[in-house]
Amino acid sequence: MIETRKGAIIGAGIGGLTAAVALKQRGIAIDIYDASPDMTAFPRSNTGIIVPPNAMAVLKKLGLAKAVAEAGFEVDWLTILDHKAQVLSKSKAAYSYKKGSAPTIAIRRNKLRKILLDELTPEQIHTEHRCLALDEHSDGICAHFESQDSQQFDYVIGADGLHSQVRAHFFPEQRLQITSQVCWRGVVETKLPRPWRNQLTELWGMGLRFGFVQVSKKYAYWYAIKSAITTDELDVTSDDLNLIELFQEFPDIVCQLIALTPPTDIHSASIGELPPLALWHGKHGALLGDAAHASIPNLGQGGALAMEDAWVLAKKLAKYPQPELAFQQYQLSRRKRVERVVKLSQTLGSVSHFESPLACVLRNVFMTSVPGFVTRHQQKQLYDCGDLE
Ligand X SMILES: Cc1cc2nc3c(=O)[nH]c(=O)nc-3n(C[C@H](O)[C@H](O)[C@H](O)COP(=O)(O)OP(=O)(O)OC[C@H]3O[C@@H](n4cnc5c(N)ncnc54)[C@H](O)[C@@H]3O)c2cc1C
- Interface residues toward ligand X, by CB under 6 A: 10-16, 33-36, 49-50, 130-131, 159-161, 165, 183, 185, 223, 271, 289-291, 297, 300-304, 306
- Pick the closer one to ligand X by CB: 67 or 105: 105
**Shortest distance, position 34 Cβ to ligand X, whole Å:** 5
DSSP string, 272-310: EEBPPPS--B-SSEEE-GGGT-B--SSSS-HHHHHHHHH
**Shortest distance, position 289 Cβ to ligand X, whole Å:** 2
Closest C-alpha among 100, 168, 101 to residue 134:
168
| d(C-alpha 224, C-alpha 267), whole Å | 10
Cis, peptide link before residue 195, omega less than 30° from 0: yes
- Dihedral of the alpha carbons of 297, 40, 267, 244, in degrees to the nearest 10: 90
- Pick the closer one to ligand X by CB: 51 or 321: 51
**Shortest distance, position 296 Cβ to ligand X, whole Å:** 8
| d(C-alpha 81, C-alpha 210), whole Å | 10
**Shortest distance, position 321 Cβ to ligand X, whole Å:** 26
Q: What is the DSSP letter of 366?
A: H
DSSP string, 123-164: GGEE-S--EEEEEEETTEEEEEETTS-EEEESEEEE---TT-
SS3 264: helix
| d(C-alpha 276, C-alpha 332), whole Å | 13
- Pick the closer one to ligand X by CB: 10 or 254: 10
Pairing of strands 95-97, 100-102: antiparallel
- Pick the closer one to ligand X by CB: 68 or 372: 68
- Pick the closer one to ligand X by CB: 84 or 161: 161
The three state secondary structure string of 207-229 is: CEEEEEEECCCCEEEEEEEEECC
Residue 324 CB-half CA count within 13 A: 7
Bridge partners, residue 126, by sequence? 33
**Shortest distance, position 322 Cβ to ligand X, whole Å:** 25
Helix (H) or strand (E) holding 79: strand 77-82
**Shortest distance, position 294 Cβ to ligand X, whole Å:** 6
**Shortest distance, position 225 Cβ to ligand X, whole Å:** 7
238 within 8 A of 263, measured Cβ to Cβ = yes
- Pick the closer one to ligand X by CB: 88 or 125: 125
**Shortest distance, position 323 Cβ to ligand X, whole Å:** 19
- Pick the closer one to ligand X by CB: 30 or 325: 30
Helix (H) or strand (E) holding 370: none
- Pick the closer one to ligand X by CB: 82 or 202: 202
In the complex, which residue's CB is closest to ligand X?
Answer: 13
Bridge partners, residue 204, by sequence? 82, 209
**Shortest distance, position 145 Cβ to ligand X, whole Å:** 7
**Shortest distance, position 362 Cβ to ligand X, whole Å:** 26
SS3 21: helix
| d(C-alpha 309, C-alpha 315), whole Å | 10
- Pick the closer one to ligand X by CB: 13 or 205: 13
- Pick the closer one to ligand X by CB: 135 or 361: 135
